[in-house]
Amino acid sequence: MGTTGRMRKKQGDRGFTLIELLIVIVILGILAAIVVFAVGTTSATSVQAACHADAKSVETALESYKAQKGQFPTDPGSGDGSGAGWTVLVGGEPGPPPIGPWLKARPATTHYQISFAQNTGVITVATSSGLNGQTFDAPGVDACGANAK
């Protein structure tokens, strides 16, 4: 018997062709790209959600203070943590019986700063360096979206 130009496969020769391997590598690359893009936007969204939650907590604490005391704190609460307004909200006020605290802790993060004005309770959200401050809950403005990065 002569050979007809075709090679005979041995029973033990099994494996993948180069084309099959390339197709698998391309599919894995596409899946990896999808995962990277899906996870990449999660951190920015979570910082923005945390900013909204922190600002809302401060807003609730200020409203609670006003409901009990009849006015907003007479001292401001600066974004860098200074200001006697934070001390009042977090520490409460001494006296019989002690009132407060209205807030468990001052929101502290490296992504944004939350501050409030004295006597008005207006809350401002700014970048971590204190720049570009915008009023929280102002109509048409998302202060957290612009500053929480």
pTM of the model: 0.70
Look up tokens 């809950």; give the residue: 137
Structural domain count of the chain: 1
Question: What domain range is 94 assigned to?
Answer: 42-147
Amino acid at 48: Q
What number is the average pLDDT over the span 30-38? 88
Residues 54-94: pLDDT tens digits?
Answer: 999 999 999 999 998 899 998 998 888 888 889 888 887 77
What number is the average pLDDT over the span 99-115? 87
The terminus-to-terminus CA distance of the chain in angstroms comes to: 77
Instruction: Quote the CA–CA distance of 145 and 124 in Å, as a whole number.
Output: 13
Strand order in the sheet with 134-135: 112-116, 123-127, 134-135
7 in a domain, yes or no? no
Residues 87-99: pLDDT tens digits?
Answer: 888 887 777 777 7
127 in a domain, yes or no? yes
- 49 or 12, which is more confident? 49
59-78 burial: b if 16+ Cβ within 10 Å, else e: bebbeebeeeeeebbebbbb
